[in-house]
Homo-oligomer: A and B are copies of this chain.
Amino acid sequence: MLIVMHHSATAAQIDRVEKSVRAMGLRPEPIPGSLRTAIGVLGNQGYVDDSTIRDLPGVREVIHVSKPYKLVSRDFHPQATIVKVGAVDIGDNCPPVIMAGPCSIENEEQMRAAAVGVKAAGAHLLRGGAFKPRTGPHSFQGLGIEGLKLLRQAGDSVGMPVITEVMRIEQLDAVCANADMLQIGARNMQNFDLLKEVGKLRHPVLLKRGMSATIEEFLAAAEYIVAEGNDQVVLCERGIRTFERATRNTLDLSVATLVRELSHLPIIVDPSHATGVRSLVPVMSKAALVAGAHGLMIEVHPDPATALCDGAQSLTIEGFTELMEQLRSLSAVL
């Protein structure tokens, strides 16, 4: 932590800041400059709360050097984490993992068609939502427990592990009983109680980036899960909210590369939610792999025109099959 004093800060003010730092069990190191004094803070083992310093007289600014995460940091843990979902490995030096399926689980026939289709195309995990976070209460909210069973059944029928979103702690038992991987959605990225509970499990977790979360906050959210003992966490970039509304969100593809530098956890990309536009999904899928993503999550529906949710961003089975062929060609080059 670096404490920057005002140009006109007095010696007494500097002295008081130094005292406060010492009161926190840390060591102040004044750095007198030509324009002003700054005070380095030494001895901390991680992120320090600056509340008691920031508003002392003469303090202009407090600059943090430590990050609010450490366990998930590549700086401290250089070795890559490989997340295992059934027989599928996700992470550095593993082939890209493709998770595919409909936004919502609607009925047995739809799930079976989706499962057969994405499996034949080469997908590794089957996705489908049983509990759906919808902006307004008057939209379809998902099939719930019944949906979980249809997902499990569809996955088993083709021999694929399945992933589904969990929205509340009470659903954890049911979701764990039926899914091989849990998904925490963007709206719950800072639902810290849910993160802690998931951290106590040994199920692999997909953590989506919140729509206005910085990379730092994203990694700090993952830290909540890992701090409880569960290091089987895959991060997922799914677009952030910006002023641009021509796409549903703005896909922040640099984050895939950057997270690989900052963290040892794998990161995948969801181009379906990021763009919200079907015609953009294939190109952005390819771009994501080029950018270093360890995998993709793609919405696929046997009949998008009748989908109860997000049809306009879902690929057809045919479209997905074609994309998978392109991704294989691309992977061969990368």
The residues of A with any CB-CB pair to B shorter than 8 Å are: 2, 4, 6-8, 20, 29, 31-36, 38, 40, 42-47, 49-52, 54-56, 60-61, 63, 65-66, 68-70, 75-76, 78, 131, 133-141, 167-170, 187-188, 190-194, 196, 211-212, 214-217, 220, 223-224, 227, 240-247, 250-255, 257-258, 261, 274-275, 277-280, 283-284, 286-288, 290-292, 304-312, 329-330, 333
Copies in the complex: 4
Cα A330 to Cα B274 with chains together (Å): 24
Cα A54 to Cα B312 with chains together (Å): 6
Shortest C-beta distance, A293 to chain B (Å), equals 10
Q: Is the CB of B212 within 8 A of A243?
A: yes
Q: Is the CB of B193 within 8 A of A50?
A: no
Given contacts A55-B304, A246-B215, contact A139 B47 (CB under 8 A): yes
Q: Is the CB of B45 within 8 A of A34?
A: yes
Given contacts A38-B40, A44-B34, A243-B214, contact A49 B291 (CB under 8 A): no
A7 contact from B38, B76, B139, B310, Cβ within 8 A: B76
Among A254, A280, A291, A309: residue with most chain B CB under 10 A: A254
User: Given contacts A55-B305, A138-B223, A216-B246, could you give 4 more A-B pairs where the C-beta distance is less than 8 Å?
Assistant: A34-B43, A34-B45, A60-B75, A167-B191
Residue of B whose beta carbon sits closest to that of A249: B254
Residue of B whose beta carbon sits closest to that of A228: B137
Cα A305 to Cα B16 with chains together (Å): 12
Residues in B with CB closer than 8 Å to A135 are: 68, 190, 217, 220
A257 contact from B66, B283, B291, B312, Cβ within 8 A: B283
10 A-B Cβ contacts within 8 A? A33-B65, A47-B136, A49-B308, A52-B305, A168-B169, A168-B194, A187-B190, A211-B212, A251-B253, A290-B330
Given contacts A240-B244, A290-B283, A305-B56, contact A40 B51 (CB under 8 A): no
A49 contact from B7, B69, B139, Cβ within 8 A: B139
Residues in B with CB closer than 8 Å to A311 are: 51-52, 54-55
Shortest C-beta distance, A274 to chain B (Å), equals 7
Given contacts A63-B65, A242-B242, A257-B280, contact A310 B51 (CB under 8 A): yes
